[in-house]
């Protein structure tokens, strides 16, 4: 049976650092997807994902709420992406590419914040989403993996969808205000 994030974090702190690999396995794809929309290319996203996990490991003792590991990890990943963006700007400071970067954006691209929205889901809901979509398991395989009936998996997915949609709509509203309404009204 898989442990919760909190249990893995506590085991890592209690002298089982190898268990951190299980947290990496759990979140590597969602962190990569999160970063892929914020950095320039996939190699940088992979490099940034590795860096994020290593920094998370090194700061694990500072994590006050181990149950919030995932949202805390995304915060680290976001900072890594911003540092990478600034480093890239610095590296290209004399080139035309830097001008393009400077004029096209003031920071890393903020793409569809799906992974951030997932951070507000209850952990068991997030687990089902991760296994189904990021690990590519079927609902039946998710049910087997989590030792739960297929019906529970589909109900959990259903609730997770609703929560994700509400969270994304709330974020859209917060970030774009009236703009989103105007866009939807366009033909």
Partner 1 sequence: MNCADCRDNFIASVEGLLDHDQSLQCRAHLDICPQCRAEYEAMSRLQQCLIARGQAAAGVRIVEPVMRRVRAEQFKPERETLMSKLLKHRWGFGLGAAAGAAAILAVVLFSMPNAQAQALAVMTKGAQAVAKLTSIHLRGQLRTLPQDNFSLIMPDQDFVTIELWKQFEPDFKWRVEKPGRVAVMDGQSTLLFIKPDFGYKVPQATPSAFDTQWLHEMANLNKTLKTELTAIKARGWPVTLAQEQGADGKAKSVITVEAKSGLGADDYLHNKFFSTADTRRVYTFDNQSELLESVQIYLHAPAGDQLVFKLDEIDCNQPIDPSVFQLQLPASVSMGGAMPMLPDNEKYAAMTSEQAARALFDACAREDWTEAAKFFNPLTDTMKQYLGGLQVVSLGTHTTLSNGAEIVPYEITLKNGETKKWSVGFKRDPATRRWFVDGGI
Chain position carrying tokens 């970030």: 175
User: Does 128 participate in binding partner 1 (rule CB under 8 A)?
Assistant: no
- Tokens coding 79: 């900072």
Nearest distance, CB of residue 184 and partner 1, angstroms: 12
- Between 63 and 82, how does the x/- string for binding to partner 1 read (CB under 8 A)? --------------------
Write down the residue that tokens 């994030």 correspond to.
Answer: 5
Number of residues that bind partner 1 (CB under 8 A): 54
For 121, half-sphere exposure in the C-beta direction (CA atoms, 13 angstrom radius) is 25
Q: CA 156, CA 178: separation in Å to the nearest integer?
A: 32
Tokens of 82: 């911003």
Is 186 a binding residue for partner 1 by CB under 8 A? The answer is: no
Name the strand (E) or helix (H) holding 96: helix 96-104
Cβ atoms 2, 146 nearer than 8 A: yes
Question: If binding is defined by CB under 8 A, does position 164 make contact with partner 1?
Answer: yes
Give the residues lining the site for partner 1 (CB under 8 A). Answer: 17-18, 20-21, 24-25, 28-30, 32-33, 36, 41-44, 46-47, 49-51, 53-55, 57-58, 83-84, 86-88, 91, 97, 112, 114-115, 129, 132-139, 150, 154-155, 157-158, 161, 164-165, 168
């Amino acid at each position: 049976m898989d442990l919760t994030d909190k249990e893995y974090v506590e085991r890592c702190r209690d002298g089982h650092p190898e268990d951190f690999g299980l947290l990496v396995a759990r979140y590597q794809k969602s962190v990569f997807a999160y970063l892929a929309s914020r950095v320039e290319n996939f190699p940088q996203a992979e490099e940034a994902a590795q860096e994020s996990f290593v920094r998370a490991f090194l700061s694990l003792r500072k994590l006050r709420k181990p149950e919030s590991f995932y949202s805390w990890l995304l915060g680290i990943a976001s900072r890594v992406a911003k540092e990478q963006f600034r480093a890239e700007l610095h590296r290209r400071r004399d080139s035309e590419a830097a001008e393009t970067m400077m004029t096209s954006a003031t920071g890393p691209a903020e793409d569809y914040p799906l992974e951030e929205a997932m951070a507000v889901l209850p952990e068991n809901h997030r687990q089902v989403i991760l296994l189904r979509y990021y690990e590519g398991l079927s609902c039946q395989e998710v049910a087997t993996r989590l030792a739960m009936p297929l019906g529970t998996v589909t109900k959990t997915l259903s609730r997770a969808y609703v929560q994700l949609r509400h969270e994304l709509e709330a974020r859209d509203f917060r970030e774009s205000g009236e703009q989103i309404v105007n866009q939807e009204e366009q033909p």
